[in-house]
Chain A
């Protein structure tokens, strides 16, 4: 049974957390994710969850305590944004290395400096190689659905990797949207009772050492196993998506193609901007332009084979990066998409647009301009500029 209600992104994430009902949550406030923990602490105070809530003194401690709880053999969660995620950075890697199935909503916000509170992807792009799965959401519904699925994915014995679920700060976190929600019981049934598939620290009869020192004689095998877990989790993500579709009717994949199959011109983008781009795609289609869109949902693991397949046959592709890479060669999404396309026969021209930094608005005209550029690139077979910036004073 599903119910249709109107919630903000933060309310939807907090609700999903309540329905997941983790054993331990340790969290710290930061705009725009603060509300998630605020609402959640209300659930705790009113006995609506079984969760033990730890009001830590920093995000570093939030991730450290979450790690400690998870290693103990319970379901543990936290939530954050931006500087908070940056502050967790050291421990993110350790959680992934210990293969702990922590699930964390991240409300995307620009990293300082200058300090800014609005949405861009510099925070989670900075953590892209930390060993966490990364799932991006377009809207409130997806944020809710992705968080629930993330628990099953992270805790699957073939995966056992921490997972972060993203939505755009303010644009989604603070916007009220209609969505369909499941009953508490259905979510409980879907995520299931927590099982720890590894020895747990709190198994007192079988004491284990968690986090030993591994030098050049073993470190690499630890890392190889971790890489293997990341490499093999795609089928699990799809399997969980299928079960979720059976429950809700909402289908998820590694990415979503929108009028992509026969498109000549394609934009690749993450999160809420996909919604804006879809409007432009519809518009262009009416004008007879073969425009399409690929919205990437799962950025880690990076589904390079599926993306190469979905994007081959396009004439020109624009990747929209909501975080600069400061490599002087565009954003991370651009670089990885280009790399994925390297083996494609007659590969299309691919350009990058850095956009929306610090919450800078991206509107229909910006997207129209990108498609117009792509039409020109497809026509001339040449891109004037490989990497450019959208909507900036230069």
Chain B
């Protein structure tokens, strides 16, 4: 991989001038994906969500590459139609360039409402790289819980109240579910570890067939952190092993980053307003429960990756 300086000199397909919030990490993910794609011609589909609404307010667009938005839950199906049209034209000799097809969707548009469409497209084997920018809630509609929302997070539909302490359920492990589709390439990434992210996106692009990448993309409004700390949020999520970095290449699970010393979960969550209610005396037990589950999930992953 080229170094960041070289990468940042390339023309990117996502331009400044979009209207994402200060401190939002989704555009950072998109830019790193763009850097990874380099000169490869790409066609992009975007699910409804913050990234879509804030980047294409007519008559403006932040996208230099061909880009399509259809609806919330169907970026995968839409892009499978685009990719199929490309194959049809290629077969007929009407297009010769090698093109890559990239979908971006938030966690709501990917884990939840768009799950079927994603699963179908992956199973059919379209040459698509699906990138989920996982900010852990439906942010565009005002921070409602999704199946990606961490347990205990305070959201507008899982508010931390006197009886219910935020979201009750553990998050859906979508990356593992996508790996279970037996597609050639699946990975989990974080933009704080850009080297890892870019390498993985390049692998996903190089693959002939479907690939899925789950990218943590913190949201300052939903998580309630200082806008300067977006990248720090993903770094801590990785260092606490809440969001491990790994890949599943042709069925082989591999940890791509192992923190030298696993940080306590509280280092990550204490910086976020959505977990503030956990730091009270009566919720101490929940905090312990949370840490314990993170430890269990981490060990499960280590076993899967042959590290234990």
Contacts and interface: CB of A to CB of B under 8 A. Distances in A.
Nearest to B72: A90
Contacts, number: 159
B99 interface: yes
A218 B58 contact: yes
B80 interface: yes
Interface residues of B, number: 46
Given A71-B82, A91-B74, A57 B123 contact: yes
Interface stretch (B62-70, B145-153, B236-244): B62-70
Interface residues of A, number: 43
Interface string A1-30: 000000000000000000000011010000
Contacts of A215: 57-58
Nearest to B120: A57
Contact of A60 (B67, B73, B79, B88): B73
B294 interface: no
B85 A212 contact: no
A91 B70 contact: yes
B70 A76 contact: no
B302 interface: no
B262 to A, nearest CB: 39
Contacts of B85: 23-24, 52, 68-70, 72-74, 76, 202
B82 A201 contact: yes
Contact of B57 (A55, A91, A213): A213
Contacts of B63: 207, 209
Interface string A53-67: 011111011101111
A204 interface: yes
Nearest to A204: B41
Contacts of B73: 60
Contact of A26 (B45, B81, B95): B81
B119 A57 contact: yes
Interface in B65-113: 65-71, 73-74, 76-82, 84-89, 91-92, 95, 97, 99
A54 B77 CA distance: 10
Nearest to A210: B68
Contacts of A213: 52-53, 56-58
Contacts of B74: 60-61, 64, 91
Contacts of B43: 72, 201-202, 204
Q: Which of A54, A56, A68, A70 has the most CB of B within 10 A?
A: A68
A76 B63 CA distance: 25
B272 interface: no
A68 B88 contact: no
A203 interface: yes
Interface string B109-140: 00000001101110110000000000000000
A67 B97 CA distance: 22
A350 B76 CA distance: 49
Contact of B69 (A52, A62, A211): A211
Given A65-B77, A72-B81, A204 B66 contact: yes
A381 B91 CA distance: 66
Contacts of B16: none
B65 A207 contact: yes
A68 B66 contact: no
Given A204-B66, A209-B56, A50 B82 contact: no
Nearest to B64: A207
B78 A209 contact: no
B299 to A, nearest CB: 34
B82 A209 contact: no
A217 to B, nearest CB: 8
Interface in B25-47: 41, 43, 45
22 contacts: A23-B88, A52-B88, A52-B91, A55-B124, A57-B120, A61-B121, A64-B71, A64-B81, A67-B81, A68-B80, A68-B84, A70-B81, A72-B89, A76-B85, A201-B43, A201-B82, A202-B82, A207-B64, A207-B65, A210-B68, A211-B68, A213-B58
